[in-house]
Amino acid sequence: EAPQPDHLNRELLYGLLDSYLKNDVVSIQESIVHHVEFTLARSRYKFDTREAYFAAAHSLRDRLIERWNDTQAWIKHKDPKRVYYLSMEFLMGRTFLNALHNLGVMQPYQHALSGLGYDMEKVQQAERDAALGNGGLGRLASCFLDSMATLNLPAWGYGIRYEYGMFRQVVSEGFQKEQPDYWLTFGYPWEIQRPHVAYPVKFYGHVSVHESQDGRQNFVWNAGEEVTAVAYDNPIPGFKTPSTINLRLWAAKPCQEFDLEAFNTGDYVSSIIDKQKAETITSVLYPDDKTFEGKELRLKQQHFMVSATLQDIVRRYKEQHETFDAFPEKVAMQLNDTHPTLGIPELMRILMDENHLGWTRSWEITTKVFSFTNHTVLPEALEQWPVSLVEKLLPRHMQIIYDINWRFVQELEQNHGISGDKLGSMSIILDTEYGKMVRMAYLALVASHTVNGVAAIHSKLIKETIFKEFHDIWPEKFQNKTNGVTQRRWLAQCNPPLNRLITETLGTEAWITHLDLLKGLAAHAEDETFQQKWAEVKVEAKAKLASLLKDLTGDDLNMDAIFDVQVKRIHEYKRQFMNILSVALRYDRIKSMTEKEKEEVVPRVVIIGGKAAPGYDMAKRIIKLISAVSETVNNDPDVGDLLKVYFVPDYNVSLAEVIVPGSDLNQQISTAGTEASGTSNMKFAMNGSLIIGTMDGANVEIAEEIGEENMFIFGVGAQEVPALRSQREYLQVDPQFQHAVNLIQNGHFGWADYFSPLIESITGSRDWYLLANDFESYLDAQERVDQEWRDKASWTRKSILSTAGSGKFSSDRTIHEYAEDIWGVEPLPPTIPE
Ligand code: PLP
């Protein structure tokens, strides 16, 4: 008999905590061997490294489950306001090392494994990345989970358990090829399947109206298709706290209730096959980062995720509450971009149709619980679903959206005196030549109490551009929440030598939860001995990156070279093209130098990595161009090791964990006003890599924190961009830019025809991302980089100051702000006995 919430008390929890599994080396070894034998059913005398990983993972999972259970029981007992983070993506990467660190059991596990004859490093490598996200947005959600757990917040994440995560990128003869990432082949040891936590999710069909006895209209949605959402729970441990929160991912299964009629009247086999189709809903992550794709399956995924999530949240609430009166005091929901916006009409539907609340009451509740994060101002990324599709797939939701819009338009007229065209331009429903569309961002804006951008400049821009009219009427809804990253994964774990040096220097490891403390490093920036230690730590991290590249290419890297890195999704706005143009120019210059002149050249290893969306032709051509330049440069004996260029295939979280610490310089060179925030910039800065970048996204705030003089800033400002765009065709193009373009156009790197669409895209009035405008100032900044490198002490000083100034960019700070300013949730630390 499970204890009821009111019988749970501190004593009971203490009792539970007392019986936690032991973390001495022998107990851990016993538990690993136990899992080898009873979970994997392998011989305890003979298991390979992968099996050692799986057994160790299960052993660690046991420890996570203890904490998870206690945390959840504790939260249930206290019944605080909880926050739910709804996201279609979680780019988690690996879990093993993170869990070891956060639970504080790294050392005993290391000893336990080595005692059994296994190398911790190799065991870790056996883990596959959980890559259920595209890039920044999904990785942000994962950093947030780590911070929410560490800050003891009563929080959960909700998303989808895709069977195929982000595709694996293979580069063959310079071309990107996509391979499916069926990441569950050997099972995922961190998840807990909950077959009994399952909800029906409905699609299609029609809506009928029934008059109830009190004269009210009841809407009944007779669905045409029903699938089951089954929960898979992933425990997320906080650092140095027993608090372990949950990431609940939904998988689609065929509906439990078989339509026996269909089976008996005809083709038994094809009826089963039809049922199987349910599972396709959660089979694959859409691999597009920034372009909206109006595919029906994608809309199904969105509804599937939010419907299961809301049913789960409402069920949990109703277990402890008789009425919905306290719902807004107990529930906050954050929409990670507009992808989960259908949660709004879904909650309205649940309240009205299933719980018989009136519209006014339902709307009052709904508008108090949702808040929404915008992640981009790029118009092609904004979600607009055809009304005809929403109507077909979710007929009741479409009615509700129309109702929301009708009331909203009335409010605009009556309370804000808005009329005519402006009503149309603010309407959730947009009339286009292709038919009516639902603007998801507008729906999210109307129903959310708060909308936020993800860096100061971005939050300002959304108020001035895409959401201007909404800001005019509801300025109080708009906030900024500058992104952050978790320093546990992105510094403490991925860079052990730097971790040790920081801890030794500050005399405390408190920076792992209070990143502001890093500013204490600034006092040592001028100290020669400290600089020496700092430089040694960097060499260690560079050696690890060099070894990774050696494995990939067979080349030995020049350790005296600047490791110059640009890793992120390939996109025109991120301007990898501009980077490679400057590399082509550098190559050409070296070619024309005398041996004497070459002695003055600062050597560079240029590393570029990132995936192109499979349908993004330009991005794929950029990858080919990088590969072609790499091929020519790396094989040219005139150049030697003064310049090397590598495209690292299949950039993912695990690779980032090696690449980021090992870089000297990182490129954050998007056209000003296009990158909402960026988060890799923060990771690099934390690890003492210097930024060459534009005043865009979080670069602006990084410059405020670490000092513009410690970065290599260049390029036009966001405010100038619109005017410059309109004058592009009159621009006097810089001769160096023209020369770089000519090199490619003239076939210096081969494939001239294939690259011609790229060249056209930056020519004259077509140069939307203003490569021609920024090129000269970019080259200047690159020149400053070379100058700086020659002065080792000065470079190291800047590197120290980068880390020292990155305290603001912890996701702990970001989450703290969300909790205080948006969610109204408070920490609830589980108490543990002495
Ligand atoms: N992809 C991966 C694998 C990452 O780890 C990150 C962040 O570190 C990103 C994408 C986002 O990078 P950026 O902020 O440069 O777009």
Q: Is 505 a catalytic residue?
A: no
Q: What is the mean pLDDT of residues 626-638?
A: 98
**CB contact at 8 A, 652 and 612:** no
Question: Residue 150: CB partners within 8 Å, gap ≥ 6?
Answer: 102, 238, 239, 240, 241, 243, 486, 488, 513, 812
How far is residue 627's CA from residue 629's CA, in Å, rounded to a whole number? 6
Quick one: pLDDT at residue 670?
A: 98
Residue type at position 80? P
For 700-743, the pLDDT digits (tens) are 999 999 999 999 999 999 999 999 999 999 999 999 999 999 99
Quick one: pLDDT at residue 257?
A: 62
Cβ of residue 139 lying under 6 Å from some atom of ligand 1: yes
Q: Is 679 a catalytic residue?
A: yes
Q: Which atom of ligand 1 is nearest to the CA of 675?
A: 16
For 36-50, the pLDDT digits (tens) are 999 999 988 888 999
How far, in Å, is the centroid of ligand 1 from the Cα of 136? Answer: 5
Quick one: pLDDT at residue 1?
A: 46
How far, in Å, is the centroid of ligand 1 from the Cα of 360? Answer: 42
Q: Is 367 a catalytic residue?
A: no
The model carries a pTM of 0.96
Quick one: pLDDT at residue 14?
A: 54
Whether 367 shows a pLDDT value over 80: the answer reads yes
Question: Per mean pLDDT, which range of 209-223, 563-577, 764-778 is the poorest?
Answer: 209-223
Quick one: pLDDT at residue 255?
A: 84
Q: Is 290 a catalytic residue?
A: no
Question: Residue 364: CB partners within 8 Å, gap ≥ 6?
Answer: none
Q: Please identify which of the residues 77, 298, 644, 683 carries the catalytic annotation.
A: 683
Exposure on the CB side of residue 328, measured as CA atoms within 13 A: 15
622 by Cβ neighbours in 10 Å (0-12 / 13-18 / 19+) ranks as buried
**CB contact at 8 A, 497 and 826:** no
Whether 27 shows a pLDDT value over 70: the answer reads yes
For 169-223, the pLDDT digits (tens) are 999 999 999 999 999 989 999 999 999 999 999 999 999 999 888 888 899 999 9
Question: Residue 212: CB partners within 8 Å, gap ≥ 6?
Answer: 218
Domains of the chain: 1-78+95-127 (no CATH), 79-94+129-482 (3.40.50.2000), 557-805 (3.40.50.2000)
For 524-557, the pLDDT digits (tens) are 999 999 999 999 999 999 999 999 999 999 999 9
393: its two tokens = 């797939």
For 421-450, the pLDDT digits (tens) are 999 999 999 999 999 999 999 999 999 999
For 87-128, the pLDDT digits (tens) are 999 999 999 999 999 999 999 999 999 999 999 999 999 999
Whether 264 shows a pLDDT value over 90: the answer reads no
Which of 783, 657, 768 has the alpha carbon at shortest distance from 721? 768
How far is residue 202's CA from residue 394's CA, in Å, rounded to a whole number? 8
Q: Please identify which of the residues 168, 300, 375, 542 carries the catalytic annotation.
A: 375
554: its two tokens = 């067979």
Q: Please identify which of the residues 519, 574, 621, 798 carries the catalytic annotation.
A: 574
Quick one: pLDDT at residue 302?
A: 98
Quick one: pLDDT at residue 834?
A: 37
Q: Please give the helix or strand (H or E) that residue 648 lies within, else none.
A: strand 643-648
> Which own/partner pairs from 164-167 qualify as long-range (CB within 8 Å, at least 24 positions apart)?
164/283, 164/284, 164/285, 165/129, 165/130, 165/131, 165/132, 165/133, 165/285, 166/91, 166/131, 166/132, 166/133, 166/134, 166/285, 166/287, 166/611, 166/652, 167/287, 167/611, 167/614
Residue type at position 178? E
Mutate to test the pocket of ligand 1, among 666, 679, 691 (most ligand atoms within 8 A of CB): 679
Instruction: Give how far Cα 641 sits from Cα of 552, 560, 583, 635, 791, Å.
Output: 17, 10, 14, 10, 20
CA 826 to chain centre: 24
Q: Is 574 a catalytic residue?
A: yes
